[in-house]
């Protein structure tokens, strides 16, 4: 499921006053394993909210305990159209065995930014059935973006969408050590297009530097349209069953 979420986030890298889209992810012989709806809204006061609701489908839904995730980024928009997050919240829920009972487990983590002091505060709440645990602590690192704001800011950072040299970005929700994300051009973009039956677009490789399924560094191949929206994404050679592929369907 973690791989599904990262693909959904990368698939929604654009900026607009109001934006909504639906995506699906498929995995080799298993077919569709997840679907998500994402939206961005900016109000008249230049406050924004980005949200993604993702859920597993079919066999993946059964095996994951009906897992669902919500990711939300809330903050302000600068005069230049850059999203500056106040907080990023991630909610993961699924049914699992706990002390002999099959209960709903919900993990809520809220990351609160202090851009002046360059610090991050984390509020963590875990529900296991009727039991609740709460903790608050300082984050291990500060980054100016979360995963959602970063990729909605990407077109602002790189207007041409042409990645010619390797670049590093930092976002809360990526690499647990420092949030580093690597973006680089594909070595053989035409070959990649043929291999995955991609149409024309802006291609790149994004590495989130943490393990996703059997991919040690989480390397994603992306195909973006001129509007900055990613049309397709691929996490290559996962386990024994091929590639995890994400595609915009609406």
**What stretch of H or E contains 33?**
strand 32-42
CB under 8 Å, gap of 24 or more: what pairs does 53-61 form? 54/1, 54/4, 54/5, 54/8, 56/1, 56/4, 57/32, 57/33, 58/30, 58/31, 58/32, 58/33, 59/30, 59/33, 60/1, 60/27, 60/30, 60/33, 60/34
- Please give the pLDDT value at position 97: 79
Give the pLDDT mean for 26-33.
57
Please give the model's pTM, rounded to 2 decimal places.
0.80
pLDDT in tens, 191-237: 777 777 787 888 888 887 665 544 555 678 888 877 677 777 777 65
**Contact status, residue 222 vs residue 230, Cβ threshold 8 Å:** yes
Contact 219, 7 (CB under 8 A): no
Is it the case that residue 15 has pLDDT exceeding 50? no
- Residue 13 pLDDT greater than 80, yes or no: no
Query: What element of type H or E holds 11?
Result: helix 2-11
The pLDDT value recorded for residue 244 is: 73
pLDDT of 18 reads: 66
In whole angstroms, give the CA distance from residue 10 to residue 67: 20
Q: State yes or no: pLDDT of 62 exceeds 50.
A: yes
| 3 DSSP assignment | H
Q: CA of 132: how far to CAs of 72, 104, 105, 107, in Å?
A: 22, 12, 10, 10
Q: What's the alpha-carbon Rg for the chain, to the nearest Å?
A: 18
Q: Comparing 159 with 12, which gets the higher pLDDT?
A: 159
pLDDT digits (tens, 9 = 90+) for 83-116: 999 999 999 888 887 777 788 899 999 999 999 9
pLDDT at 22 over 80: no
pLDDT > 80? residue 57: no
| Tokens, residue 89 | 């919240």
For the chain, helix, strand, coil in percent to 5 are 15, 50, 35
Tell me what pLDDT residue 9 has: 55
pLDDT value of position 60: 65
Query: Which runs of consecutive H residues, i.e. helices, occur in 18-116?
Result: 58-63
What is the span of the domain harbouring residue 84? 2-248
What pLDDT score was predicted for residue 65? 75
Tokens representing 86 are 């106040």
Chain segment 121-131, per-residue pLDDT in tens: 999 999 988 88
132-136, 138-142, 214-218, 242-246: range with lowest mean pLDDT: 214-218
How far is Cα 213 from Cα 123, in angstroms, rounded to an integer? Answer: 27
* Structural domain count of the chain: 1
Give the single-character DSSP code of 30: G
């Amino acid at each position: 499921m973690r791989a599904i979420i990262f693909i959904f986030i990368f698939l929604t890298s654009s900026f607009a006053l109001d934006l909504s889209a639906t995506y699906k992810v498929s995995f080799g012989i298993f077919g569709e394993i997840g679907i998500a709806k994402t939206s961005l809204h900016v109000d008249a006061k230049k406050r924004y909210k980005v949200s993604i609701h993702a859920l597993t489908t079919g066999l993946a839904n059964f095996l994951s305990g009906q897992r669902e995730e919500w990711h939300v980024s809330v903050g302000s928009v600068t005069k230049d159209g850059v999203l500056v997050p106040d907080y990023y919240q991630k909610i993961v829920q699924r049914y699992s065995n706990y002390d002999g009972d099959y209960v709903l487990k919900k993990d809520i983590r809220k990351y609160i930014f202090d851009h002046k002091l360059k610090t991050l505060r984390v509020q963590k709440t875990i529900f296991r059935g009727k039991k609740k645990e709460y903790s608050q602590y300082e984050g291990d690192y500060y980054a100016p973006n979360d995963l959602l704001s970063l990729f909605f800011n990407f077109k602002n950072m790189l207007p041409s969408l042409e990645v010619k040299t390797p670049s590093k970005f930092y976002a809360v929700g990526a690499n647990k050590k420092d949030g580093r994300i690597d973006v680089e051009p594909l070595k053989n973009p035409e070959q990649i297009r043929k291999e995955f039956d991609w149409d024309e677009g802006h291609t790149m490789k994004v590495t989130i530097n943490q393990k996703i399924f059997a991919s040690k560094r989480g390397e994603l191949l992306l195909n973006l349209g001129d509007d900055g929206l990613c049309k397709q994404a691929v996490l290559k050679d996962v386990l024994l069953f091929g590639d995890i592929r994400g595609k915009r369907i609406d």
